[in-house]
Amino acid sequence: MSLAQDRQRRRQLAEDYAARRRKFAPISEVEQQLKKLTHRLLRSEVAEAKAARRKASAATRAGSLAADLDLFTVNHG
């Protein structure tokens, strides 16, 4: 599932959980689904944040390498 679909499904499960809780119905199945989806969503968001940091770091390193090459060319060119 995509991150957006996971978020939508989590919202729906949270609403179902709240509705069943208000009615004092058995909630263990919905509660379990909600916990699993919440955990998966958090892992996805953490992975997304790590990927963004890696991409930013790679861009910084690439820019630094380009600057080093320019300096080398100026000094030894």
At 60 the pLDDT is 83
CA distance 58 to 71: 20
Distant-in-sequence, close-in-space partners of 37: CB < 8 Å, separation ≥ 6: 6, 9, 10, 13
pTM of the model: 0.47
Domain holding 20, by residue range, is: 3-76
Look at the chain and report how many structural domains it folds into.
1
At 77 the pLDDT is 63
CA distance 52 to 34: 27
At 20 the pLDDT is 77
Per-residue pLDDT in tens (0 to 9) along the chain, 77 residues: 687 888 888 888 888 888 877 776 566 777 888 888 888 888 988 989 999 899 888 878 877 877 777 777 888 86
